[in-house]
Structure 1
Amino acid sequence: MTFKNSFRIIVLIVAAAFVVSSCSEKKNEPLLLETFTKNSVSVSIYLNRTQDGQDTLIATFVPQEGLHLYSKDIPRSGVEGLGRPTLLELTQNSQMKAAGSLIESVPAQVPDFEPKDLLVYPSGSVTLTLPVTLQSSADQANDEISITYMACSDVGCKAPVVGQVISLYIPPAQ
């Protein structure tokens, strides 16, 4: 075999390997399921699938500049009627099952105002992650979750979004 032919074979092998690797699904990158904006907050819902079955549902809440969200741990009706928790929940009709507790990306803070137990997240985005178990059935493709939040500034609040049901299409695992 000549050097020229050997070189061509090596180039073809490298090119084929590149094509195969670029066509394969990237693992551990969250899959965007839904995105919407309501009451000055953009919400993106993702599913992160892993090979070991440790799947997570992820919701990223991005309020407009100058607004903050409230802790996932405050009561559903707020504190003394103020605020609403930031939540990512499975509905009664959801086929997914929670496999752990809801995790926040940033810790909530005690506010500079009363009531002090009205815990707030710092201004900016907040990501909530919920470990889930996906059901292995043909019906898994359609599912639903529930989202709750309220965005406020130092001078006022937007209307709360409470128990907003979001329909999701979950593609089969590959």
Structure 2
Amino acid sequence: MTISVAMTVNGKPVSGKVEARTLLVQFLREHLGMTGTHVGCDTSQCGACVVHVDGKSVKSCTMLAVQADGAKVTTIEGLAASADKLHPMQEAFRDNHALQCGFCTPGMVMSAIDMVKRHNYQLDEATVRHELEGNLCRCTGYHNIVKAILAAAPAMKAAGV
């Protein structure tokens, strides 16, 4: 059985027909061609698939596309203001060497932005480490990821994002 879904993805209205069991991550990647959102574990353990749905971070491998019908979805591709101007969190990840292979990076960045906002731009290392428990990275050891998130919080506040 196919169902019509419509949502706003990265500021643009999109729609499509999906099977009722289609996951949001599948809709984004396979129907819309937005491959920045990664599929890592298929069990909601790794966080590589995190996107924002109506401003909150969500593991898109655990949400059906039909559940996002009518929602505002932001993926890693929708963060940068332009090709030349990255989101402050993306800049902080780059500047603090918070990535290696890059596979977990989209989910880490999306989770981190929500984390910073939920904590009103006031974070400490212990809070960041605790909040990252749902995101796995096999390359960096998290040290530079934590540094990046702490560096991005005041930059995000200053930029009003």
- What is the TM-score of this pair, normalised by structure 2? 0.24
Q: Greater Rg, structure 1 or structure 2?
A: 1
Tell me which protein shows more strand as a share of its residues.
Answer: 1
